Amino acid sequence: MEPQLIKGNEAVVKAALLAGCRAYYGYPITPASEIVEMAALYLPEVGGVFVQAESEVAAINMLYGGASAGVRAMTASSGPGISLMQEGFSYLAGAELPCVIVDMMRGGPGLGSIGPEQGDYFQIVKGGGHGCYRNLVLAPASVQELVDLTMLAFELADRYRNPVVVLADASVGQMMEPVSFPEPRPVPAAPAWAVTGTAATRHNLVNSIHLEPDVLEGHIRALEAKYREAERSEPRWEAWRVDDADIVLVGYGIVGRVLRAVVETARRRGIRAGLLRPITLYPFPTRAIRALADTARAFAVVEMSTGQLVEDVRLALEGSRPVETYGRVGGNIPTVEEVFQLVERTLVGARVPSEVSTNG
């Protein structure tokens, strides 16, 4: 459809509805509140269900209910609300329920601030709930990508019977950019395993308790196999000007776009810089990053946290290349200028021949 200028938090709801989402349960929180407001406006209009829950704890459990009933369902929140939902993430993954959760990350810890941050990486990507489970995690960098990845999230959720998190820093939710929305997709029929209150589904059970050690181990192994499959099939990333790059910048979300500008600046000054922007944070584009160690001399990770993403980059590189790191927090977004200084510092540290920096 014709591009229209739209705010991320509004676009994400429209994308969900175009993807066949017909249930939303949520609790307001800045800077994600426009999402619950848009959902309240549109869900009834499309014949769907909207409930303003009494808490994020209730919201995530309503999500559990909607998903159990075979409906494409979603909730959204931000840092503190997502923390409250962590119990539910574990149950959703344990019971293998497909659903979508949007996290418009704000500053923490505690009440922190309502400015953009990326401090929820650990609690979402590494799993903030109990037990051996993973969320599939998608990290949009623009409003268009927020729309595209939200629609993909519903497909992945169904394919893997697993919660999928759209993890965006709040700036992506708050900003307006042109978006071309795709045509609406048909609402899928309830999956065969769902509990819908019909004769056909009467013997179905949604459950996460398995007291027998061997039974629970078998269940966890089955989940694990699913995650291995996702690790093979689903990693997504954007690689830009990395083929001849001496230094590869790594960052996701809004930071990935700042880094693109940094690469431009560096290239103008004769520094061969490139960008690797993870789009899926789990499964992480481990092999893509590892492969770049064959050509790049150094890596620099930039994030709006004090060092969360960098752990996965270091794991991917297995110590093969030096990794510099730079983070801004508290609602600040790294600027092109300050990241460029990091690039210069990293090159000195990696002893890249000086002729590259005298070209500029």
Q: State which of positions 153-182 bind other proteins (CB under 8 A).
A: 171, 174-178, 181
Nearest CA to 101 among 109, 111, 92? 92
Strand 136-138 to 280-282 pairing:
antiparallel
Subset of residues 297 to 356 that bind other proteins, contact rule: CB under 8 A: 333, 335-337
In the complex, the smallest distance separating the C-beta of residue 78 from other proteins, rounded to whole angstroms, is 11
In sign, the C-alpha dihedral spanning 221, 227, 228, 230 is: positive
Q: Which of 32, 35, 39, 66 binds other proteins (CB under 8 A)?
A: 66
Q: Which of 21, 61, 163, 326 binds other proteins (CB under 8 A)?
A: 61
β-bridge mates for residue 298, sequence order = 247
Span near other proteins by CB under 8 A; candidates 68-76, 279-287, 318-326, 344-352: 68-76
Nearer to other proteins, 196 or 286 (CB): 196
Nearer to other proteins, 180 or 233 (CB): 180
Span near other proteins by CB under 8 A; candidates 1-9, 151-159, 284-292, 296-304: 1-9
Paired tokens of 157: 């959720």
In the complex, the smallest distance separating the C-beta of residue 265 from other proteins, rounded to whole angstroms, is 10
Subset of residues 179 to 218 that bind other proteins, contact rule: CB under 8 A: 181, 183-184, 186-187, 195-199, 201-209
**How wide is the angle at C-alpha 185 spanned by C-alphas 182 and 187, nearest 5°?**
155
Tell me the C-alpha distance between 170 and 278, whole Å.
18
Span near other proteins by CB under 8 A; candidates 67-75, 120-128, 160-168, 313-321: 67-75
Nearest CA to 285 among 183, 106, 138? 138
Tell me the C-alpha distance between 16 and 257, whole Å.
24
Q: Which of 32, 35, 36, 53 binds other proteins (CB under 8 A)?
A: 53
- Note whether 30 binds other proteins by CB under 8 A: yes
Nearer to other proteins, 65 or 322 (CB): 65
Subset of residues 82 to 141 that bind other proteins, contact rule: CB under 8 A: 87-88, 91, 95, 113-115
Q: Which of 134, 219, 260, 277 binds other proteins (CB under 8 A)?
A: 260
In the complex, the smallest distance separating the C-beta of residue 303 from other proteins, rounded to whole angstroms, is 15
In sign, the C-alpha dihedral spanning 102, 107, 109, 110 is: negative
Q: Which of 73, 100, 101, 296 binds other proteins (CB under 8 A)?
A: 73
Subset of residues 261 to 280 that bind other proteins, contact rule: CB under 8 A: 261, 264
Question: Which DSSP helix (H) or strand (E) runs through 196?
Answer: none
Calculate the CA dihedral of residues 337, 341, 347, 349 and round it to 10 degrees. Answer: -160
Nearest CA to 299 among 224, 241, 238, 249? 249
Q: Which of 159, 236, 257, 267 binds other proteins (CB under 8 A)?
A: 257
Nearer to other proteins, 87 or 311 (CB): 87
Total of chain residues touching other proteins, rule CB under 8 A: 79
- Whether the CB-CB separation of 9 and 35 falls below 8 Å is answered with yes
Tell me the C-alpha distance between 255 and 333, whole Å.
7
- Whether the CB-CB separation of 242 and 274 falls below 8 Å is answered with yes
